Amino acid sequence: MPTGPADAHLKGVFGAAFTWPLIPLHTVLLPDGRVLSYGSKPSGIQSGLLNYAVWDPAQGMGSKAKTLLSNTTGTDIFCAGQALLPTTGNVLLVGGDRIVNGQRNYANNDVNLFTPADNKLTKQAQSMAYQRWYATLITTASGEQAVIGGRIDRFYEGSTQYPPTADTYASTPEVYSAATGWRTLTTANSDAAYGSRVQAWNYPRAWWSPQGQVVIFNVMGEIFSLDVSGTGTVTQLPGTMPVGAYMLPAAMYQPGKILSVRDAAQAVVVDINGASPVVTPAAPLSADRQFGNATILADGKVWVNGGSSTGNDLVGAVYDSETWNPATGSWTLGATATKARLYHSVSMLMPDGSVLTGGGGAPGPVSQLNAEIYFPPYLYKTDGSGLPAVRPGILTAPSAASWGQTIPVAMNNKNAVTRMTLVRFGAVTHAFSNEQRFQDLSFTQNAKNLSVTLPASANNAPPGFYMLFAVDANGVPSKAKVLRLGA
Ligand SMILES: [Cu+2]
């Protein structure tokens, strides 16, 4: 962690950029703290057909920390859907790219599994019913993955050699169960929620809701719920928000509360805890950040970085970052990156409380075969020295537990712990981390020993992997212990 300037405790610090063996346009945090990444060739050209890469932060940022691996599945996983499976910690990858008549950006219906234990990517016997390019996966309370959106065929005007093709969309969701395979939600078809309507298919912004359904925001600002039971039911909910864009981020920063960035630097808070969503305007961002990312930090603030006011283009690229404080509703300007983070860039919270930012390009003005680590203000002393803060430490915590359980957590000293926070592992691509969510946990402290109560409901904390942080009286978080929430 670098020493920062005098305002490090106010703005945070970006570490120096370091190289990545491909453009990390997809990243998934693995239960062992490593990062799966994929989406381009080592040259930076669009393709997930032959390579993927794993980064082990424990090995630092040099070349030995990163492993370029061979994809032998035959699936081009460029712009696939992705999620960590809640029981095994394997990564489910669905769909991706396919070349038809020499043209890219058609879709496939392949299903692949990455297993961290051996770094292998393996094609699964059962494919999806629909081909999907740009689908979103949402883990349900029962541990299944709802797959929504994605395009099937692209528009192609044709040539003397090849016939034209029309664009078509995968507007019918499917559900994956690790135990029983795939089922299709045949009665939940919707062009408005996740199909042809104005980019609704394009990595739909969606969350498992406190009501036990998938809630979806579309680009036009409409809100839908998808009941995944049986053959599925989709319903438009009351409430609208300003028009957004497929390249703008949104994040569930508290159970059932989502910060959604909309067009022209607008933001709204949408509360989906009740039967009808409540949309409230939030303070605007400092800039229009098309293709920027929103990352929930260990203290529940939302950090937004990258993007450009002129699209996938350097002219309006925003190098400053900014942080939204849910307690005050205000934005604060943060540290400045050295690299533009545009289309196909990612940001993801790491278990040490830092944020991995990286990628951009394929296509874009720069092939960003690199990453930068952002160290948030909470990691620095508040005395203006720019030195790293002394951090609280969790000595022991259970690696797995169930809903409503009170777990013992042992700290490395008797200092007061002021917050225990739970942040779900990220899986990021296309300006959206489909699984990240945050909540405070209630707890009691007796000297070094804490009793921490886990969320009561799988609707507020779906099964899977979480980072458990202890925050001290100075607001400094510990490094996280990884907790698997499951039955
Ligand atoms: Cu893409």
pLDDT band of 10, cuts 50, 70, 90: very high
396-437 pLDDT, tens per residue? 999 999 999 999 999 999 999 999 999 999 999 999 999 999
Q: Tell me the C-alpha distance between 132 and 106, whole Å.
A: 8
**403 CA distance to ligand 1 middle (Å):** 36
Percentage of residues in the chain having pLDDT higher than 90: 100
Helical ranges in 54-161 per DSSP H: none
Nearest to 170 by CA among 200, 145, 138, 144: 200
**448 CA distance to ligand 1 middle (Å):** 47
Rounded alpha-carbon distances, angstroms, from residue 213 to 19, 86, 342, 423, 432: 40, 18, 32, 20, 19
pLDDT band of 72, cuts 50, 70, 90: very high
Q: Which residue has the tokens 């508290």?
A: 254
**227 CA distance to ligand 1 middle (Å):** 27
Q: Tell me the C-alpha distance between 200 and 150, whole Å.
A: 9
**357 CA distance to ligand 1 middle (Å):** 17
227-258 pLDDT, tens per residue? 999 999 999 999 999 999 999 999 999 999 99
Nearest to 376 by CA among 326, 338, 335: 335
Q: Tell me the C-alpha distance between 213 and 325, whole Å.
A: 27
**99 CA distance to ligand 1 middle (Å):** 14
Length of the chain counted residue by residue: 487
**204 CA distance to ligand 1 middle (Å):** 13
335-365 pLDDT, tens per residue? 999 999 999 999 999 999 999 999 999 999 9
Q: What mean pLDDT comes out for the span 189-195?
A: 98
Handedness of CA 181, 186, 190, 191 (dihedral sign): positive
- Strand, helix or coil at 408? strand
Number of Cβ atoms within 10 Å of the Cβ of 469: 29
**344 CA distance to ligand 1 middle (Å):** 6
Q: So what's the pLDDT on residue 161?
A: 95
363 CB burial (10 A radius; 0-12, 13-18, 19+): exposed
**302 CA distance to ligand 1 middle (Å):** 24
**39 CA distance to ligand 1 middle (Å):** 8
**134 CA distance to ligand 1 middle (Å):** 7
Distance from the first to the final alpha carbon of the chain: 37
Strands (E) across 85-163 are located at: 91-94, 97-100, 103-107, 111-115, 120-123, 136-139, 145-148
Q: What mean pLDDT comes out for the span 315-338?
A: 98
Q: So what's the pLDDT on residue 104?
A: 96
Q: So what's the pLDDT on residue 487?
A: 86
Is residue 53 within 8 Å of 98, Cβ to Cβ? Answer: no
Q: pTM of the entire structure?
A: 0.98
**What distance lies between CA 181 and its chain's CA centroid?**
24
**105 CA distance to ligand 1 middle (Å):** 9
Q: Tell me the C-alpha distance between 387 and 1, whole Å.
A: 9
**426 CA distance to ligand 1 middle (Å):** 18
Structure tokens belonging to residue 289? 């950040």
Q: Tell me the C-alpha distance between 289 and 261, whole Å.
A: 9
Q: Tell me the C-alpha distance between 126 and 104, whole Å.
A: 24
Q: Pairing state of beta strands 400-401 and 481-485?
A: parallel
17-28 pLDDT, tens per residue? 999 999 999 999
| DSSP element (H, E) containing 482 | strand 481-485
**26 CA distance to ligand 1 middle (Å):** 9
Q: What mean pLDDT comes out for the span 458-462?
A: 98
Residues 6+ apart with CB under 8 A from 185: 172, 173, 174, 175, 226, 228, 231, 232
Q: Tell me the C-alpha distance between 392 and 307, whole Å.
A: 34
pLDDT band of 440, cuts 50, 70, 90: very high
Q: Tell me the C-alpha distance between 195 and 148, whole Å.
A: 9
DSSP letter, residue 476? P
**154 CA distance to ligand 1 middle (Å):** 13
Q: Tell me the C-alpha distance between 357 and 349, whole Å.
A: 9
**444 CA distance to ligand 1 middle (Å):** 45
Structure tokens belonging to residue 416? 């007061």
Helical ranges in 302-456 per DSSP H: none
**362 CA distance to ligand 1 middle (Å):** 8
**377 CA distance to ligand 1 middle (Å):** 31
Is residue 429 within 8 Å of 96, Cβ to Cβ? Answer: no
Q: What is the mean pLDDT of the chain?
A: 98
**358 CA distance to ligand 1 middle (Å):** 15
Is residue 483 within 8 Å of 441, Cβ to Cβ? Answer: no
Structure tokens belonging to residue 409? 């957590």
| DSSP element (H, E) containing 446 | strand 438-446
Q: DSSP string covering 206-222, please?
A: EEE-TTSSEEEE-TTSE
**80 CA distance to ligand 1 middle (Å):** 8
